[in-house]
Structure 1
């Protein structure tokens, strides 16, 4: 199968957008130790750069997402509402939750694992952006029904890291 990231929409010149299900987003987020939402953030910024001709650097905005996540969540909600999305979410609260839960990663073993739940702050914007992309007549989407090779690699490596981490936590717990 052709790599959809390089396929351009015939109508707009915009790349065909891959849509994954919420379940896949959650699985990839957990198995990647909450790194997948950063990849999703990068892809969202890149989409808005290309779709709206914004002069932004997606990688920099992702790297400094503690600053730019609020504006991304707002941008997604506005885009979604312009495409018929009827739900809403508080961007400032979701941004604060993402930052606070991320900081919980500095807690001692095993409490740092709470930070894995940081992806939950991304769920409403994730759903809104999927809805908007699917319902925007200028955006060509394909729904990825299976995991691609990169995602499978992330899941395998993440699964191995989870096993090692849990083993280390158990070893620390029993050895004191």
Structure 2
């Protein structure tokens, strides 16, 4: 009986304190899209990792966020569902279809196998992350006992990622140009 009382007191103490999560910095939508496009979609994997890590800490889950981000084909639908449930608990009234979003990400990701220059269409997969991104930001902003920080400027890591992304984009576009003009064989 005493052990149950201790557990109840510990639980109520945790609920009354700040939610201890590492990631409370929020990007705006334009920053998210820019990072996703410039990184050729790699930022989406980082965003999934950070989101899974947030839920790991918030809900005390027994998961491996990096594994779930890398193998997102198996876990992305569940992540979208978890985000929507969390957002609705915080009063988010918009709904999105996790199934359609997952399908959109998968279909556009597979467009990367198309021949040049059409394979660049796969970058549009970022559009299917937007509803979940917006819902998660909304929920984080409105969660009691959670302080969030609106990130107005890019971090040094973001800037480095964007510089490398621009270089890769330039090389990719040069390669497409050379291939289409017959100079690359």
Task: Tell me what 1:90 maps to.
Answer: 97
Map 1:1-176 to 2 at 5 A: 11-175=18-182
Structure 1 position 13, deviation (Å): 2.7
- On the 8 A contact 2:111/2:119 being kept in 1, the answer is yes
Structure 1 position 14, deviation (Å): 2.3
Q: Secondary structure at the match of 1:84?
A: coil
Q: Secondary structure at the match of 2:181?
A: helix
Please give the alpha-carbon distance, in whole angstroms, between the structure 2 residues aligned to 1:163 and 1:18. Answer: 30
Question: Residues 88-123 of structure 1, C-alpha deviation per residue, up to 9 Å, x if partnerless?
Answer: 000001001101110110111111100011111100
Question: Residues 33-56 of structure 1, C-alpha deviation per residue, up to 9 Å, x if partnerless?
Answer: 011111100000000000000111
- On the 8 A contact 2:23/2:54 being kept in 1, the answer is no
- On the 8 A contact 1:12/1:138 being kept in 2, the answer is yes
| Range 15-24 or range 87-96, more displaced | 15-24
Runs of 5+ unmatched residues, structure 1: 1-9
Please give the alpha-carbon distance, in whole angstroms, between the structure 1 residues aligned to 2:20 and 2:128. Answer: 31
Larger radius of gyration: 2
TM (norm. structure 2) is 0.88
Structure 1 position 15, deviation (Å): 2.2
Q: Secondary structure at the match of 1:175?
A: coil
**RMSD (Å), alpha carbons:** 1.1
Distance 1:16 1:175, change over 3 A: closer
Distance 1:16 1:119, change over 3 A: closer
Runs of 5+ unmatched residues, structure 2: 1-16
